[in-house]
Amino acid sequence: MSAIRHALSIKREDDFAKWYQEVISAADMAEESGVRGCMVIKPWGFGIWERMQRLLDDRIKAAGVQNAYFPLFIPLANFEREAAHVEGFAKEMAVVTHHRLIADGDGGLIPDPEAKLEEPLVVRPTSETIIGDAMSRWVQSWRDLPLKLNQWANVVRWEMRTRMFLRTSEFLWQEGHTAHADEAEARVETMRALEMYRAFAEEDAAIPVIAGEKPENERFPGARETWSIEAMMQDGKALQAGTSHYLGTSFAEAANIRYQNREGGQELCHTVSWGMSTRMVGGLIMTHGDDDGLRVPPALAPFQIVILPMLRGKPEDAALLDYCEGLHAGLAGQSALGEPLRVLLDTRPGKAAGKRWDWVRKGAPIILEVGSRDMENGVVSMLRRDALWNAETGKPAFQNPARETAIDTISSILSDMQSGLFAEARERRDANITREIDNMEGLAEFFGEDRRYPGWAEVQWSKPTGEGLKAVEEQLKALKLTFRNVPMNTPPADGTCIFTGAPAVERIYVARAY
Amino acid sequence: MSAIRHALSIKREDDFAKWYQEVISAADMAEESGVRGCMVIKPWGFGIWERMQRLLDDRIKAAGVQNAYFPLFIPLANFEREAAHVEGFAKEMAVVTHHRLIADGDGGLIPDPEAKLEEPLVVRPTSETIIGDAMSRWVQSWRDLPLKLNQWANVVRWEMRTRMFLRTSEFLWQEGHTAHADEAEARVETMRALEMYRAFAEEDAAIPVIAGEKPENERFPGARETWSIEAMMQDGKALQAGTSHYLGTSFAEAANIRYQNREGGQELCHTVSWGMSTRMVGGLIMTHGDDDGLRVPPALAPFQIVILPMLRGKPEDAALLDYCEGLHAGLAGQSALGEPLRVLLDTRPGKAAGKRWDWVRKGAPIILEVGSRDMENGVVSMLRRDALWNAETGKPAFQNPARETAIDTISSILSDMQSGLFAEARERRDANITREIDNMEGLAEFFGEDRRYPGWAEVQWSKPTGEGLKAVEEQLKALKLTFRNVPMNTPPADGTCIFTGAPAVERIYVARAY
């Protein structure tokens, strides 16, 4: 068994944070922009986000939700009217105060003092209040309900410490906003969106998640209930990958979203909001990446198959290109995972081996190298990103199927890879959850220094509120821990609360988190 | 022949500007947001924009351009370094000066004086400079060229007088940015993008356009050449519907985009940018709308066919719904214009006749009404939006094909409608272009008060520059006219310039414009 020379310089087990940065750079996904807190999403990273958008948007439309677009700028007054919301959000936001620049007389530009806005505008951190304004105009009668809207947009939350995809001042997301006649229907929508996110994460992104309700202290500002899906990263930390909020009637009251019911009376709507962001790309990296770079699940790969002809700048290249174009055409006619295959014939200048490692680091699911020997034998040299190495030789595990065989079997290979990546992540996640902890010492030990990448603990607790909850938060904070969520469909509590010693009422996940 | 009672209250011939506003409102496309200069794009308007995005994006990707995403905020310094660019743009822009709000002690919020940015940030009016920064990092060698990027984004140009879709402070667009090794290749890309826009406008949006070069005074700030496609609206005015700019090396110099050529020397790149925006939705309305509302070309319709069951809230409804679901399934299995049909079965509460007129105003290409009599006879009542009225009876021109016939023929009906809308617009455009004007009096007469909706004049001119061009601009301005573009593929000039009397060197379009 030979030593494998991995494609990255940093291994996950040595320094997970640095490894994460190296994947982003080595897979050419994103980079710092030079503008404070804002990143540039490069074509491969953006291509993955576009695939996420396409597949999630299909699910959104299938649920009868309509896309629309609302202003980037929100008047200050909107933030002033919903007390809990402003407290949660009125902190770090980009504020537009002027609408013109003028020369400073010294070769530079300054905001024109004559062009100061009467009321500053906030760059949206989220759009509940501005969409609420629209809903108050659009909803008149019970016939207008439910009103189910979604927008794909950029939002800004000024961040002091940023990390690409996970925490940036500007990020991309979708935000769903729905208005309903009553609480029951609004709760159904809250859970529908949560289930949509679970299905998207698990089926499309191959990321196993736990769906559950956030405790009171982790709720969206102003929400009655916040639900999330939580994914375990390879360092054991949790990533909140999507949220769905039941907002009750407080946002409707602030924005005056009322309707005439069937009996002619006026009632407040119950509203719901739900969102998923480019953070998911960070989750993808930390779930599927390995010491050779990213591995993109086939459903999300901008290109699922990359063909690399081994060109030599000689006349024989023409025949090789013909052979590869035949391969490309044959593959492009196939489907996988319910969509036409996405195949790239990469003829850029550069050596095939160098290009191979570029695509390995980017995580393209399948690489097909084709040299003149392959052509003569009617075969291709196939490398699966999920089975990259031959452990015995320490070399890349090329297979050499006949060209027609490769074309015929590629669809099932991609399906296998999609489910294989999910199964691998789920096994790792499940192996790193403990349900055995029944006191604070055990918790401290589980997350202690000697465990490099501890996972999650599902513990029983008494669900205190107010000061009691604050005290529990302090206990967690001392261990650098947070509550994740109260998972659905778990056995009822039967023990005592590890924080308060009182009888437990439910089970809740505790973890370090991004 | 009976009088037709149209679905709108204002006719195009009576007041085109008010008619335009009524279409937007009656077709439920957009509305004022309450935020200065920003509109809300409602689901039907946004659905049309999404279709435009999808079809244009397919063309962009097919040309080997890669999508990416760049920051919303641009440092002031970026605008200071390219002199001509700053002069053109450094006027009306949204400026972010603070990154936090605090309570003003009086129940309100104010920008926190402690959180003033050291350098203000501008909300992007366009992204040449910030993408130029990225290109300077990404381009090292000739092997990295051409670099062809595109982004779909919101941009902001502060506008004092706004008109929905045509001129709003925030709008949505795509901006392509490419870098090339030499001028020849950059010019090829400039023309490729122009041709892409022509094809998109004519084939997808059914809007006939004139492709040509803008004169010097209408160039993008800092560009060497600006090319546009120009469409004629039904009031005879021109709408610039897409632009492609050859930027020479000046942006590359300002952003330091250099590459090592094959011989090892350092050279500046030649850059190109091209864009199309939500303005196109305004163009769609003013090209295809009629006195009954919008008519959406089938390629861009979010729903091409709307099925309206005439429900009566009685037990018989179940059989009718079954019949309509069969119709829906049959249609959804068909394709038109190369894509699966987009069909809506509209079962919302409300009377079928009221819903019919909603869909007429929105411009859904085909409405299929189905009542119990239709069901008994195995037929549907079909209304084509492009042939809405029976001129003899003054009533909607329903046809009654058998259900199976409707399913089998719908694809060719939609294709006919797509080409019919284009042909109609092209005939109208061509009938409203004059090439007969050879002096300023003739020009003044053509655009005189007694002609309600004059079209365009193609005139010969001597293409003066500098002060000479300014004088010509003044002559045009006095008649409220602008240059549109110098059309491609026209006969060489053979007369005298109508502005200067000097020998003409080319032909150019003159028009009122949006």
B398 CB within 8 Å of a chain A CB? no
A31 Cβ under 8 Å from any chain B Cβ = yes
Buried b / exposed e across A327-348, counting CB within 10 Å, b at 16+?
Answer: bbebbeebebbeeebbbebbee
Q: How far apart are CA B401 and CA B371, in angstroms?
A: 14
B100 and A95: CB-CB below 8 Å?
yes
Is the Cβ of B144 closer than 8 Å to some Cβ of chain A?
A: no
Q: Is the CB of B202 inside 8 Å of chain A's CB atoms?
A: no
Residues whose CB falls within 8 Å of the CB of residue B499, separated by 6 or more in sequence, listed in order: B440, B461, B462, B464, B471, B472, B475
Residue positions counted in chain B: 514
- Residues of B with Cβ-Cβ distance to A47 under 8 angstroms: 66-67
A43 touches chain B (CB under 8 A): yes
Residue of B nearest to A69 (CA): B41
Cβ–Cβ gap A108/B80 under 8 Å: yes
pTM for the model: 0.96
Any residues with CB less than 8 A from the CB of B408 and at least 6 apart, and which? none
Nearest residue of B to residue A70, measured between CA atoms: B40
Q: Which residue of B has its CA nearest to A41?
A: B69
Q: Which pLDDT does position B107 carry in this prediction?
A: 79
The tens digit of pLDDT for each residue in B289-333 reads 999 999 999 999 999 999 999 998 899 899 999 999 999 999 999
Using H for helix, E for strand and C for coil, what is the string for A311-357?
A: CCCCCCHHHHHHHHHHHHHHHHCCEECCEECCEEECCCCCCHHHHHH
Q: Which residues are CB-neighbours of B115 under 8 A, at least 6 positions away?
A: B98, B99, B100
pLDDT digits (tens, 9 = 90+) for A325-380: 999 999 999 999 999 999 999 999 888 899 999 999 999 999 999 999 999 999 99
How many CB pairs lie under 8 A apart between chains A and B? 196
DSSP letter string over B260-326?
E-TTS-EEEPEEEEEEEETHHHHHHHHHH-BTTB----TTT-S-SEEEEE---SSTTHHHHHHHHHH
B172 reaches A (C-beta below 8 A) = yes
Which pLDDT tens digit goes with each residue over B126-171? Answer: 999 999 999 999 999 999 999 999 999 999 999 888 999 999 999 9
**Looking at residue B159, what is its pLDDT?**
87
H or E, element range at A417: helix A403-431
- Looking at residue A122, its pLDDT comes to 96
Name every chain A residue with its beta carbon within 8 A of the beta carbon of B50.
67
Q: What integer is the mean pLDDT of A488-512?
A: 96
B188 reaches A (C-beta below 8 A): no
Q: Say whether residue B91 is in contact with chain A using an 8 A CB cutoff.
A: yes
**Where do the DSSP E strands lie in A181-291?**
209-213, 225-232, 238-246, 258-260, 266-268, 270-277
Mark yes or no for CB contact A95/B98 under 8 Å.
yes
To the nearest whole angstrom, how far is the Cα of B140 from the nearest Cα of chain A?
A: 14
Minimal Cβ distance to A94: which of B66, B86, B96: B96
Rg of chain B over all Cα atoms, to the nearest angstrom: 26
Q: Which residue of B has its CA nearest to A157?
A: B99
Range list for CATH 3.30.110.30 in chain B:
433-511
CATH number of A305-429: 3.40.50.800
In this structure, are residues B490 and B507 in contact, taking their beta carbons and an 8 Å threshold?
yes
Q: Is A123 on the interface with B (CB under 8 A)?
A: yes
Contact A345, A309 (CB under 8 A): yes
Does A74 contact B at CB distance below 8 Å? yes
| Model confidence pLDDT, tens digit, residues B88-107 | 666 789 999 999 999 888 87
User: For residue A108, what pLDDT is reported?
Assistant: 86
Q: Where in chain B is the domain with CATH 3.40.50.800?
A: 305-420
CA–CA gap between residue A42 and residue A358 (Å, rounded):
14
CA–CA distance, A70 with B150 (Å, rounded to integer): 23
Compute CA distances A348 → A178, B94, B295, B347, B365, whole Å. Answer: 47, 41, 45, 53, 44
pLDDT tens per residue across span B217-229: 999 989 999 999 9
Q: Which residues pair with A513 in a beta bridge?
A: A238
Q: Which of B28, B41, B46 to mutate to test the interface with A (most CBs of A within 10 A)?
A: B46
Kindly give the pairing relationship between strand A39-41 and strand B482-483: unpaired
Residue B95 to residue A99, Cβ atoms within 8 A: yes
Residues in B closer than 8 angstroms to A93, CB to CB, are 99-101
Please tell me the total number of residues recorded for chain A in this structure. 514
The ipTM estimated for the assembled molecules is 0.96
- The CA distance from B352 to the nearest CA of chain A, in Å, is 14
What amino acid is encoded at B347 in this protein?
A: T
Q: Which of residues 228-257 of B touch A (CB under 8 A)?
A: none
Chain B residue closest in CA terms to A65: B43
3-state SS assignment for residue B496: strand
A126-147 mean pLDDT: 96
pLDDT of residue A36: 85
Helices (H) and strands (E) in chain A, counts: 14, 29
CA atoms within 13 A on the CB side of B276: 27
And the tokens for B88? 């053109």
Residue A456: predicted pLDDT: 98
Q: Distance, in angstroms, between A144 CA and closest chain B CA?
A: 9
Number of H helices and E strands in chain B, helices first, is: 14, 29
Instruction: State the best of B35, B60, B66, B117 to mutate against chain A, taking most chain A CBs within 10 Å.
Output: B35
Q: Are strands A238-246 and B109-111 parallel, antiparallel or unpaired?
A: unpaired
Map residue B145 onto helix, strand or coil: coil
The fold of the B305-420 domain, in CATH, is Rossmann fold (3.40.50)
Q: Pick from B80, B154, B348: which is nearest to A154 by CB?
A: B154
Where in the sequence of chain A do the CATH 3.30.930.10 domains occur? 16-288
The answer, for B171 touching chain A at a CB cutoff of 8 Å, is no
Task: Specify whether domain B16-288 bears CATH 1.10.10.10.
Answer: no
For chain A, say whether B350 makes contact (Cβ under 8 Å): yes
Give mean pLDDT, residues A208-212. Answer: 98
Q: Which residues from chain A sit within 8 angstroms of residue B109, using beta carbons?
A: 76, 79-80, 86, 90
Q: Class of B433-511 per CATH?
A: alpha beta
A39 touches chain B (CB under 8 A): yes
pLDDT band for A223, please (50, 70, 90 cuts). Answer: very high
CB of A99 within 8 Å of a chain B CB? The answer is yes
Q: Where are the beta strands (DSSP E) in A113-214?
A: 116-123, 147-156, 170-180, 209-213
- Does residue B298 contact residue B337 with C-beta atoms inside 8 Å? yes
pLDDT above 60 (res A1): no
Q: Which residue has the higher pLDDT, A481 or A90?
A: A481
Chain A partners of B123 at a C-beta cutoff of 8 Å? 72, 96, 123
Q: Own/partner pairs for B412-418, CB < 8 Å, 24+ apart?
A: B413/B366, B413/B384, B414/B298, B414/B304, B414/B336, B414/B337, B414/B341, B414/B365, B414/B366, B415/B298, B415/B336, B415/B337, B417/B297, B417/B298, B417/B365, B417/B384, B417/B385, B417/B386, B418/B206, B418/B297, B418/B298, B418/B299, B418/B337
Distance (Å, whole) CA A422 – CA A413:
14
| Contact yes or no for B66 and A79 at CB 8 A | no
3-state per-residue secondary structure call for B343-377: EEECCCCCCHHHHHHHHHHHCCCEEEEECHHHHHH
- Antiparallel, parallel or unpaired: β B456-461 and B395-396: unpaired
Q: If you average pLDDT over every residue of chain A, what do you get? A: 95
Nearest C-alpha neighbor of A190 from the set A235, A223, A217, A239: A223
Q: Do B69 and A46 touch (CB under 8 A)?
A: yes
Distance from CA of A179 to the nearest CA of B (A): 15
> Quick one: tokens of A248?
């009750």
Which of A40, A76, A103 comes nearest B70 by C-beta?
A40
pLDDT at B88: 67
Q: Distance from A187 to chain B by nearest Cα, in Å?
A: 22
Please name which of B50, B27, B43 lies closest in space to residue B290, comparing C-alpha atoms: B27
User: Which whole-number Å values give the CA distances from A264 to A261, A267, B119, B156, B368, in the listed order?
Assistant: 5, 9, 55, 43, 33
* Chain B residues within 8 A of A70 when measuring between CB atoms: 33, 40-41
Q: What is the pLDDT along chain B (514 residues), one digit of tens a residue?
A: 568 999 999 999 999 999 999 999 999 999 999 898 999 999 999 999 999 999 999 999 999 999 999 999 999 989 888 766 666 666 789 999 999 999 888 878 899 999 999 999 999 999 999 999 999 999 999 999 999 999 999 999 998 889 999 999 999 999 999 999 999 999 999 999 999 999 999 999 999 999 999 999 999 989 999 999 999 999 999 999 999 999 999 999 999 999 999 999 999 999 999 999 999 999 999 999 999 999 999 999 999 999 999 998 899 899 999 999 999 999 999 999 999 999 999 999 888 899 999 999 999 999 999 999 999 999 999 999 999 999 999 999 999 999 999 999 999 999 999 999 999 999 999 999 999 999 999 999 999 977 789 999 999 999 999 999 999 999 999 999 999 999 998 999 999 999 999 999 999 999 999 9
Mean pLDDT of A424-432: 98
- For chain A positions 270-329, those within 8 Å of chain B (CB to CB) are none
Q: Which residues of A touch B130 (CB under 8 A)?
A: 33, 35
Residues 357-376 of A with CB under 8 A from B: none
To test the contact with chain A by mutation, choose from B49, B50, B74, B95 the residue with the greatest count of A C-beta atoms within 10 A, namely: B95
